[in-house]
Amino acid sequence: MSYKPDPDNDPNEIYAVIATPAELGGPTDWWTVTAHGVPVWHFPPGKRDLAERFATDPAYRQQSASKKKAYD
């Protein structure tokens, strides 16, 4: 099964934070950051604040991408 982006996501909004869709096969209580509707990073349930930061702060995104986990 392949993931299909949510048609309600605004394609003009680069990053968004959504509840992880069941279609991705992971835990649905996690937060997923999407870029143009495509999942790019996942955060555990208690880390929505870091998911929001990842979506809005380019420096944090770059720092996180160089680590194994964004929520360390």
For the chain, the domains span: 15-65
CB burial of residue 55 (10 Å; 0-12, 13-18, 19+): buried
In this prediction the pTM is 0.73
pLDDT given for residue 14 in this prediction: 85
Q: What is the pLDDT of residue 46?
A: 95
Q: What is the pLDDT along the chain (72 residues), one digit of tens a residue?
A: 456 666 565 555 689 999 998 988 889 999 999 988 889 999 999 999 999 999 999 889 888 877 655 455
Q: Kindly state the tokens that stand for 4.
A: 């299909």
For residue 24, the model assigns a pLDDT of 86
What pLDDT is recorded for position 2? 59
